[in-house]
Amino acid sequence: MGNLQIFLGLLPLLVKGAIAALEIAACTLLLASVGGLVLAVLASFSRSWFVQVLIKCYIEWMRNVPALAHLFLIYFGLSYVGINLPGWLAAIIGLSLVGTAVLADVFRVGLQSLNLGQQEAGLAAGLTQWQILRYILLPQTFRVSLPAFANYATQLLKDTSIASAIAVPEIMFLARNLVTSTFQTSLIYLAVICLYAALILPIGLGFSRLEHRLGVSR
């Protein structure tokens, strides 16, 4: 009973960390989705070799350098030039830059998997390139890319834990502080596992239902 009371007593503070992690993940997902979509469209339709090379270099760099290194560079590096960002903002920017590269590849593959005859048919019907993209290609791209997008979204929530390295008060940061002050290591990290499961499982189930509803196959 004593351990149960301690466990329940730890949850309120850790829930605050869970809310912070959700906020960072939601902002990052929004920014990364917009950035990834823009890069995917440019990579698929731009005729400039310079743009193509630039996008490819950006994607390769962001995907092959640890996200934590980007967070350190933004949080600590910018302070040397007089730009002091709060930890949560640095975390969102760093994770969004990495996420943009990941989703750019996801959306690019989705776009390039579509039948290009649809684009020609749209032009023949008098639609502009923007209308074709907005009403024909992008909805199909989202549907095709949904499984990979869902995987990224769930992974992103777990990756918010690296924000603890720059003192963002999310779950892992608060958990380490509690371990230091209470020495209840097992109970604290059990609570952390339960919270992550409570956050991630509903998200995964929600995406699975959406995939089933849209008839998407993995």
Given this model, what pLDDT does residue 97 score?
A: 95
The overall average pLDDT reported for the chain is 85
- Domain borders along the chain are 21-168
The set of residues, in sequence order, having a beta carbon less than 8 Å from that of 20 and lying 6+ positions away, is: 88, 168, 169, 170, 171
Residue 7 to residue 38: CA distance in whole angstroms? 45
CA-based nearest residue to 32, from 90, 91, 102: 102
CA-based nearest residue to 76, from 88, 85, 66, 63: 85
Task: Please compute the mean of the pLDDT values over residues 12-34 and round it to a whole number.
Answer: 91
Query: How does pLDDT run across 154-174, given as a tens digit for each residue?
Result: 999 999 999 888 878 888 888
User: What share of the chain has pLDDT > 70, as a percent?
Assistant: 88
Q: For residue 76, give the DSSP letter.
A: I
Taking the CA atoms of 124, 125, 131 and 134 in sequence, report the sign of the dihedral they define.
negative
Query: How does pLDDT run across 125-161, given as a tens digit for each residue?
Result: 766 777 777 777 888 888 888 899 999 999 999 999 9
Taking the CA atoms of 103, 104, 108 and 109 in sequence, report the sign of the dihedral they define.
negative
Task: Reply yes or no on whether the pLDDT at 176 is more than 90.
Answer: no
Task: Please compute the mean of the pLDDT values over residues 5-10 and round it to a whole number.
Answer: 68
Query: How does pLDDT run across 182-200, given as a tens digit for each residue?
Result: 777 888 888 888 888 988 9
CA-based nearest residue to 27, from 195, 157, 196: 157
Task: Reply yes or no on whether the pLDDT at 1 is more than 60.
Answer: no
Given this model, what pLDDT does residue 178 score?
A: 84
Give domain 21-168's CATH number out of 1.10.3720.10, 1.20.1530.20, 3.20.20.70, 3.60.21.10: 1.10.3720.10
Q: Residue 142 corresponds to which tokens in the numbers above? A: 């989202």
Given this model, what pLDDT does residue 2 score?
A: 58
Quick one: 204 exposed, middle or buried, by C-beta within 10 A (0-12, 13-18, 19+)? middle
Q: How far apart are the first and last CA of the chain?
A: 45
